[in-house]
Amino acid sequence: MTAWQTVVYFATALGYVMTLWLLPVVWLTKKRSPVSTVAWIMAIVTMPCLGGVLFLLFGIERVQRRVRGRQAAFATLAQSLPQLAAQHLLPKDHLTPTQRSLLNLVERIAHTPATAGNRVQLYTETPAAFQGIQTALEAAQRSIHLEYYIWQPDRIGTKLRDLLIEKARHGVTVRFLYDSLGSMNLTKRFLRPMRDAGIQVATFVPGQTFRERWSFNLRSHRKIVVIDGEIGFTGGMNVGDEYLGQSPHFGYWRDTHARLDGPTVLQLQEVFATDWFYATGENLNGPEFFPAPRESGRVDAQVLASGPDDPESMFHTLMFGAINQAQSRLTVSTSYFVPTPPLSSALEAAAYRGVRTRVLVSGPVTYWVTYHACRSFYDELLRAGVEIYEYRRGQQHSKVLTVDGEWSLVGTPNFDARSVFLNFEVAVALYDAGLTEQLEACFDADLLDAVRIDPEQWQQRHTWERIKENGCRMFAPVL
């Protein structure tokens, strides 16, 4: 027997052993999504080695062994964090029926109530958003808390790092939490000056150990900045030069970010505090982190956070409920559009019942697999009357949902299974017609740089395109 034959026999035997070992694992861990279960079983059986490796990288959530730790962190903080009872949105008479219905839904599935007295500033141009964050950081007096999925050690990443170092040297307490996979480019050399200046640096727990570092699931996709417990930022933007439109591949970068002032900032602080406690064991519950909130505006807002340790899959339920609540118009802006079957059906049902349903997705500059998987959903949506637009000016990275010009959701979750089931995400719900209409106006402006998918022309596309789309759709449960 030649050496090559030995390798082939060994690989074949390994493939069968891996198949027999992994099939029970799939059956035990993929109860929530039968479609995902079938897809992984087919991949493992038809591609014994490759399918098994892909499942180990993308399929195993490993969430069960972390649930108790996450819940313990939340329970510990919940007992010591200050209550915002005075700012809770108790009278609801001023809300429209749509707003009131969605508020009732969110209050049942989220841990945070809506608060009154907030001011929200929306950023739709990334340079202005970075400038707003930088200005707020420069004015920090006591504490700066940051949590990011991606932080690049490039020009803007280094500039903000050096600003944090300067603030730390002037007595401001700085904590920096990053995801080890999304920010894999951050080196010890880049982080050393931060630590030397007294900045506390930690990685989000998923991916912290060697055994978990290669897992692509359970990432912190959150983007959070909280300054002095009084000013907060969240939205779609990470930190990197590409978000300023300086990437030759992506070009112009379209994103949506929000600055928060008022009681709901403390809800954003609570999300960070929970993640920080889980990652480091440090309990951030003092008045220096949770100062008495002050009324800053007239916006009713609510910070929402969800992750794979959330049994209700809050963002999935919220998106489904919001779409079904729409009566006249609905917009969805997302960088990655790979909807779960319930979300896809909800969009179709909305269009069928006469709701003008418009979806804006990234164009071909986005990732190849995601782009073609996204397009595999067009047939059913177009048939139902959903208007689909592909952004062509550059990268469309906003994550925004608006309903009837009265309610909106701005944050980090995309319209895909990864965001609603596998990632830790954060967003802010806005019970405000003015801000929602502003987001709708931005959506209309984005359509000037987008191409609408024509249903008749779409049916005439080449068979090879259909093959690519349906092939990529097989990976929908993990995209």
**Stated pTM of the model:** 0.87
Structural domain includes residue 106: no
Cα–Cα distance list, 271 to 73, 82, 228, 268, 285 (Å): 11, 14, 15, 5, 12
Q: Using 50, 70 and 90 to split pLDDT, how confident is the model at 474?
A: confident
Facing residues of 429 across strands?
302, 409
Q: Check whether 168 has a pLDDT greater than 50.
A: yes
Tell me, what's the pLDDT at 303?
A: 96
At 356, give phi and psi (nearest 5°). -70, 110
Same domain, 269 and 128: yes
Lookup: tokens for 267: 């809800």
Q: Check whether 329 has a pLDDT greater than 90.
A: yes
Same domain, 80 and 16: no
Structural domain includes residue 306: no
Contact 316, 340 (CB under 8 A): yes
Per DSSP, the residues of 429-470 read: EE--HHHHHHHHHHHHHHHTTEEEPPHHHHHTS-HHHHHHHH
Same domain, 82 and 231: yes
**Residue pLDDT, tens place only, 4-35:** 655 545 555 555 455 555 545 544 454 455 54
Q: What is the mean pLDDT of the chain?
A: 85
Structural domain includes residue 345: yes
Catalytic positions are 221, 223, 228, 397, 399, 404
Contact 223, 147 (CB under 8 A): yes
Tell me, what's the pLDDT at 312?
A: 75
445 compared with 80, residue with greater pLDDT: 445
Q: Check whether 208 has a pLDDT greater than 70.
A: no
Tell me, what's the pLDDT at 471?
A: 82
Task: Name residue 242's amino acid.
Answer: E
Same domain, 216 and 79: yes
Same domain, 55 and 138: no
Q: Check whether 46 has a pLDDT greater than 70.
A: no
Parallel, antiparallel, or unpaired: how do β-strands 394-396 and 387-391 relate?
Answer: unpaired
223 compared with 310, residue with greater pLDDT: 223
Tell me, what's the pLDDT at 406?
A: 97
Q: What is the number of structural domains in the chain? A: 3
Same domain, 79 and 168: yes
Same domain, 197 and 260: yes
Tell me, what's the pLDDT at 468?
A: 84
**Residue pLDDT, tens place only, 230-279:** 999 999 999 999 999 999 989 999 999 999 999 999 999 999 999 999 88
Structural domain includes residue 407: yes
Q: Residue written as tokens 């990685």? A: 203
Q: Residue written as tokens 């759709």? A: 473
Measured distance CA(214)–CA(116) in Å, rounded: 42
Range(s) of the domain holding residue 50: 3-59
Per DSSP, the residues of 390-432 read: EE-SEEE---EEEETTTEEEEES--EEHIIIIISBEEEEEE--
Same domain, 198 and 335: no
Same domain, 261 and 320: no
Average pLDDT score over residue span 363-387:
93
Structural domain includes residue 148: yes
Q: Using 50, 70 and 90 to split pLDDT, how confident is the model at 212?
A: low
CATH code (residue 164): 3.30.870.10
Q: Using 50, 70 and 90 to split pLDDT, how confident is the model at 470?
A: confident
**Cα 205 off chain centre by:** 17
H helices of 47-154, where?
A: 48-54, 64-80, 97-109, 126-138
Residue partners of 242: CB distance under 8 A and separation at least 6 = 152, 250, 253, 395
Structural domain includes residue 400: yes
- Of 136-150, 153-167, 292-306, 388-402, minimum mean pLDDT range: 292-306
Same domain, 400 and 292: no
**Residue pLDDT, tens place only, 407-429:** 999 999 999 988 998 899 999 99
Q: Using 50, 70 and 90 to split pLDDT, how confident is the model at 161?
A: very high
Task: Name residue 235's amino acid.
Answer: G
Tell me, what's the pLDDT at 213?
A: 52
Lookup: tokens for 14: 């390994």
Average pLDDT score over residue span 361-376:
91
Average pLDDT score over residue span 123-148:
98
Q: Which residue from 256, 221, 264, 238 is spatially nearest to 106, judged by alpha carbons?
A: 264
Same domain, 221 and 72: yes
Per DSSP, the residues of 249-260 read: TTBEEEEEEEEE
Q: Check whether 52 has a pLDDT greater than 70.
A: no
Same domain, 72 and 146: yes
